[in-house]
Amino acid sequence: MVEHGGLRIGGLNGCWKYKSRGVFLHDQTDAHRLLADFPPVDILVTHNSPHGIHDREDGVHQGFDALTDYSHWAEPKLVIHGHQHQNRETPVGRTTVIGVYGHRVIEA
């Protein structure tokens, strides 16, 4: 986590473990462990999405339960993710989940 311009910004690398080898591939248990003691942030940048938000039906582009849980209790203003290859914006409670494919400029 870093602070910049009065905002707390954090990140979680990696995506769903959809193949047997590779770095930064996590199962649901790994993701829960990685976020267990993660402090609340204003902006969370991740490779994978929260589970149930922007998931695709192919089994590879599925989100992490731990990110969904984290978003519910920590209520970051933004969760910005890639991996699902889609540009979408979805409000979830007090959090806006933004899927980015390619690039995107986000202004406060």
- Whether 95 is in a domain gets the answer yes
Question: Domain containing 28: what range?
Answer: 8-99
| Per-residue pLDDT at 12 exceeds 80 | yes
In the three-class reduction of DSSP (H, G, I as helix; E, B as strand; rest coil), residue 97 is classed as strand
- Whether 2 is in a domain gets the answer no
Segment 79-90 shows an average pLDDT of: 91
| Per-residue pLDDT at 15 exceeds 90 | no
**Identity of the highest mean pLDDT range in 19-23, 48-52, 76-80:** 76-80
- Whether 64 is in a domain gets the answer yes
Number of H helices, E strands in the chain: 2, 8
Q: Taken in order 64, 7, 93, 96, is the CA torsion positive or negative?
A: negative
CATH number, position 28: 3.30.750.180
pLDDT averaged over the chain? 91
- Whether 46 is in a domain gets the answer yes
Give the global pTM: 0.90
Within 10 angstroms of residue 54's Cβ, the number of other Cβ atoms is: 23
Domains of the chain: total: 1
| Per-residue pLDDT at 61 exceeds 90 | no
- Whether 52 is in a domain gets the answer yes
Instruction: Give me the pLDDT at residue 108, please.
Output: 65
- Whether 21 is in a domain gets the answer yes
- Whether 63 is in a domain gets the answer yes
- Whether 108 is in a domain gets the answer no
